[in-house]
Structure 1
Amino acid sequence: MNEVRIGIIGVGNMGSSHANYLLKGSVDKARLTALLEKDEQRSEVLKGKFPDNVTVFTDRKAFFESGLVDAVIIATPHYDHVEIAKEAFAHGLHVLCEKPAGVYTKQVREMNEAAKKSGKVFSLMYNQRTNPMYQKLRDLIQSGELGEIRRINWIITDWYRSQSYYDSGSWRATWAGEGGGVLINQCPHNLDLWQWMTGMMPKRIRAFCNFGKYRNIEVEDEVTAYAEYENGATAVFITTTGEAPGTNRLEVAGDRGKVVIENGQMDFWRLRVPEPEFNREYKGGFGTPECWKVEVPIVGKETAHPGITQNFVRKIVDGEALLAPGEDGVKGLELSNAMHLSTWLDDWVEFPVNEELYLEHLQKRIKTSTFKESTATVLDVEGTY
């Protein structure tokens, strides 16, 4: 295959963004050929915006059976991701799915099973994995340059969202429409990076989610979580959509030094002698290991969404390794599910998370949710499929 014909399902904010960079030719060996938008009024608008060689469908079955696409980008509301992906795999299509892969981990496992059965490529739109700064931190951690990880702190409170943002669609910030708040909408990238860079998942977590603390919503808009790892390392994760000005500060400490990423800059303080060795040999009473501030070369630029799509296409055409394979969708989502469940149970949650217990508690909240699909007003904001 020398070219991948791509169809986009869900042509709202993100779907339109994907369509635009594909039309501009930003992704080599890829061509936009189809859009799926089930709302007829919006589909007519799309027909006027896109060239004639991009077919706009309103019927899902017709889209999948058209023979016009080799791969799809799924950019619909979260709950739709799984069934659409499974249908695409059943039609022999490759799938690139927007974050989060699903609302709960059991869903994502089903997606991966369908992908494996189909033999098609399954990737996720974890575009922040293309950031060379996070790539470098991952390298420093997994190569052992930082030594054994002892502590991780991430304050990520610059996800500010106003009440008018939440009011722009009845599905937003509801258990039935979105499946959660800041953890499922804004923070999937951070939760993914957390586990991807370290290569570790916690053994247990204790979280405190506040639901509708700053906004008139039914889901979480503030979270503080504390996690523990098998090797004794700890992590603290703090996020909110109700704080201004916000902070984005990631600090990772190992027994050979510390890295801080903040304000688009990485600072690396390297110990000349690993702390355990210094502690074992030093006999001078007060004292600390000699520390050097090291200039770390950051090579490349963040390619974001087009970069993930390019990697997806190259996997299909040339067999390039995926930067964000579908299997990884479970890990970051499991952190999110664990934080919800810990709050609902008012207790520690062990990993792997009890998926059935999580789903049981989620279903209780879905039943009392204010969102009803029949009265959805998502069209103007996110589009439908």
Structure 2
Amino acid sequence: MDKVRVGVIGLGMGYSHSRSLAEGRIKGAQLTAVCDMQQQKQDMAKAELPQDVKIWGDARKMMSSGEIDAVIIATPHYDHPKEAIFAFQQGLHVLIEKPAGVYTKQVREMNEAAQDSGKVFSIMYNQRCNPLYQKLRELIADGELGEIRRMNYIVTEWYRSQSYYDSGGWRATWAGEGGGVLVNQSPHQLDLWQWVTGMMPKRMRAFCSFGKYRNIEVEDDVTAYAEYENGATAVFITTTGEAPGTTRFEVTGTRGKIVLENDKLSFSRLRVPEPEFNKNFEGKFGQPECWKCEVPITGENTQHDGILQNFTDAILHGTPLIAPGEEGIHGLTLSNSMHLSTWLDDWVELPIDEDLYYEKLQEVIQHSTYQKTVRDTGPEVDMSKSFV
């Protein structure tokens, strides 16, 4: 194989991926087919994409046609796992949009199908291509920060107005999206939180506010506190109702502190590790000598095209994946933990009780306004058609 024939399902988010492929920006990949259930999206694709790109209205038929080698799944959140599983069964390589799914139980089944298939499986965690986060991960892995003690991650630059939510009946509903800011806006940050440190919490206590700032049924404001096996702690804060917002990731270890903010990395490095200083210091007041270090940041932030190229290279050349699809379950575990902790009004141990989460999710879905709309108005507002 010298070219990967790619099909794209979902011409909402997936349309930009289609354009990247159609314009030849991804070496070794060829856009062969696209699929969307909405006639309007099909007409747009016919008018704007190359004429040799086949347009489908049925994703399953496209995936079983034998005309593609790989598929990009940019469908509703709930559909990611089931469409990926079907693709693996057809012998296709798979790249899914974030999040991996809505609940970890379905994502675990997807991961098992991927492993059984032997095909390349990736997820669109394009922020892993950002040199700033790559450098932070490198410094932590190399021990430059020593042992991690505390993390503070503030992600409040997700401002969304009521008109945004009103633009689609599925938006910000349990039946439509399966969550709010944690599932729609913050999956990248939830992934980065655990990816750069290589650490998952042992337990979580979260406070999700549902419809705090907007007339919606899912969470639009979250504060979570996490504890780790080594004694480290973390606070994660996100909202869609704050302006101006902040994105700041602060990681403190025994050898100093790194702050990522405003697309810059600041490294305050202790000359002597804090535990060593504390052991030997005999004065009344004092603290370790601290150096402000200039850390060279090199490389381009290739974003979505970087993941698409890496996915293609993995298929053609066996290149290691930047964002293996199986790792999508980690960030989703964090968001599921926050929901479950709020619903139970208690601590949640990780890994979470997946059956309990699914049970609680079904309870809120039963009261979802979008679920009621689907029941009352019939198939013309089928959820799978309304998302893409």
Q: Under TM normalisation by the shorter chain, which class is it?
A: over 0.9
Q: In the alignment, what sits opposite 1:5?
A: 5
User: What is the 5 A alignment of 1:148-159?
Assistant: 148-159=147-158
Structure 1 residues 138 and 116, CA gap change in structure 2 (3 angstroms): same
Alignment of 1:135-154 (within 5 A): 135-154=134-153
**Shift of residue 382, structure 1, vs aligned partner:** 4.6
Displacement after TM superposition at 1:46 (Å): 2.1
* Equivalent in the alignment of 2:56: 57
Residue 290 of structure 2 is aligned to residue 291 of structure 1? yes
The structural deviation recorded for 1:196 is: 0.4
Deviation at 1:45, TM superposition (A): 3.2
Counterpart secondary structure, 2:370: coil
Q: Cα deviation per residue 1:225-253 (whole Å; 9 max; x = unaligned)?
A: 00011111000000000000000011000
Corresponding residue of 2:14: 15
Q: Which amino acid aligns with 1:6?
A: V
1:66 matched residue in structure 2: 65
**What residue is the counterpart of 1:376 in the other structure?**
381
1:75 corresponds to 2:74: yes
Which residue is 2:169 aligned to?
170
Q: One-letter code of the match for 1:48? A: A
Provide the residue aligned with 2:224 in structure 1.
Answer: 225
The structural deviation recorded for 1:379 is 9.0
Cα distance change of structure 1 residues 156 and 260 upon mapping to structure 2, 3 Å threshold: same
Match status 1:107 vs 2:106: yes
Secondary structure of 1:335 counterpart: helix
Runs of 5+ consecutive residues of structure 1 not aligned to the other structure: none
SS in 1 for 2:329: helix
Distance 2:386 2:357 in 1: 29
Contact 2:170 2:386 in 1 (8 A): no
Note the C-alpha offset of 1:44: 2.8
For the structure 1 residues 62 and 193, does the alpha-carbon distance in structure 2 shift closer, same or farther, using more than 3 Å as the test? same
Can you list the C-alpha shifts for 1:122-143, whole angstroms capped at 9, x where unaligned? 1000000000000000111111
Question: Which shifted more, 372-381 or 195-204?
Answer: 372-381
Uncovered stretches (5+) of structure 2, i.e. residues with no partner? none
CA distance in 2, matches of 1:207, 1:59: 40
Deviation at 1:113, TM superposition (A): 0.8
C-alpha contact (below 8 Å) 1:182/1:240 kept by paired residues: yes
Superposition deviation, residue 381 in structure 1? 7.7
Match of residue 87 from structure 1: 86
Cα contact 1:205–1:349 (8 A) shared by 2: yes
Task: Give the CA deviation at 1:24.
Answer: 1.4
Instruction: Report the CA distance between 1:42 and its aligned residue.
Output: 3.2
**Corresponding residue for 1:43?**
42
Which residue identity is paired with 1:2? D
Superposition pairs for residues 158-197 of structure 1, below 5 Å? 158-197=157-196
RMSD, matched Cα: 1.4
Q: Distance in 1 between matches of 2:222 and 2:241?
A: 11
Distance (whole Å) between structure 2 residues aligned to residue 315 and residue 341 of structure 1: 36
Task: Confirm or deny: 8 A CA contact 1:5 1:30 kept in the other structure.
Answer: yes
- SS of the residue corresponding to residue 48 of structure 1 reads helix
Give distance in 2, aligned partners of 1:246 and 1:174.
23
Kept in 2, the 8 Å contact 1:169–1:376? The answer is no
Aligned-partner SS, 1:56: strand
State whether structure 2 residue 362 is matched by structure 1 residue 357.
Answer: no
Aligned to 1:325: 324
- The aligned length equals 382
Identity of matched residues, %: 65
Q: Which runs of 4+ in 1 moved over 3 A?
A: 372-382
Q: Is 1:170–1:378's contact at 8 Å kept on the other side of the alignment? A: no
- Does the 8 Å CA contact 1:250/1:260 hold for their aligned counterparts? yes
Q: 1:156 to 1:61 in 2, by over 3 A?
A: closer
Q: 2:340 maps to what in 1? A: 341
Tell whether the 8 Å contact from 1:202 to 1:229 is kept in structure 2 after alignment: yes
Q: CA deviation at 1:65?
A: 2.6
TM-score, length basis structure 1: 0.97
TM-score (norm. length: structure 2): 0.96
Letter in 2 for 1:357: L
Distance (whole Å) between structure 2 residues aligned to residue 87 and residue 10 of structure 1: 16
Native 8 Å contact 2:9 2:35 kept in 1:
yes
2:14 maps to amino acid: G
SS at match of 1:371: helix
Q: CA deviation at 1:380?
A: 9.6
CA distance in 2, matches of 1:216, 1:329: 29
Partner amino acid, structure 1, of 2:8? I
> Mean alpha-carbon deviation: is it higher for 373-382 or for 279-288?
373-382
* Rounded Cα–Cα distance in structure 1 between residues aligned with 2:39 and 2:222: 39
8 Å Cα contact 1:168/1:381 also seen in 2: no
Alpha-carbon distance between aligned partners in 2 of 1:299 and 1:380, rounded to the nearest angstrom: 42
How much does 1:377 deviate? 8.1
Counterpart residue identity of residue 211, structure 2: G
Superposition pairs for residues 191-340 of structure 1, below 5 Å? 191-340=190-339
Answer yes or no: is the 8 Å Cα contact 2:75–2:384 preserved in 1. no
Deviates more, 1:86-95 or 1:371-380: 371-380
Q: Could you give the per-residue CA deviations for residues 80-127 of structure 1, whole angstroms, max 9, x where no partner exists?
A: 111110111110000000000100111111111111111111100000
- Mapped contact 1:152–1:250 kept (Cα < 8 A): yes
Q: Conserved in 2, the CA contact under 8 Å of 1:169 and 1:377?
A: no
Q: Residues 198-240 of structure 1: CA distance to partner in whole angstroms, max 9, x if unpaired?
A: 1010111100000000111000000000001111100000000
For the residue of structure 2 that corresponds to 1:101, the secondary structure is coil
